[in-house]
Amino acid sequence: MFGMKDPFCKSFAFSINNTMFFSKGSNVVPMDSLKDRITFEKFKWVTDMAIASNQNVLRIWGGG
């Protein structure tokens, strides 16, 4: 969080190129345990749903 005074780090605002924006997004869990079975259509469906719900951040979960 650059350029904002938030001593407690409780803001969801971020700055990119000195432009502030509010982060609204979700976590994306692996769609399949075998990555070769994830098709472009499956991935596009996830990103289309994020766009349709006005999300601007997706965190790709990589844990196992």
What tens digit of pLDDT does each residue of 12-58 get?
678 888 888 888 889 988 888 888 898 999 989 999 999 999 998 89
The reply to whether 3 falls in a domain is no
The reply to whether 29 falls in a domain is yes
The reply to whether 50 falls in a domain is yes
The reply to whether 2 falls in a domain is no
Domain count, the chain: 1
The reply to whether 1 falls in a domain is no
Give one DSSP letter per residue of the chain, joined into a string.
Answer: --S---TT----EEEETTEEEE--EEEE--S-SSGGG--HHHHHHHHHHHHHTT--EEEE----
Question: pTM for the whole thing?
Answer: 0.63
pLDDT score of 33: 84
Domain range for 26 is 13-60
What tokens appear for 15 in the block?
């700055």
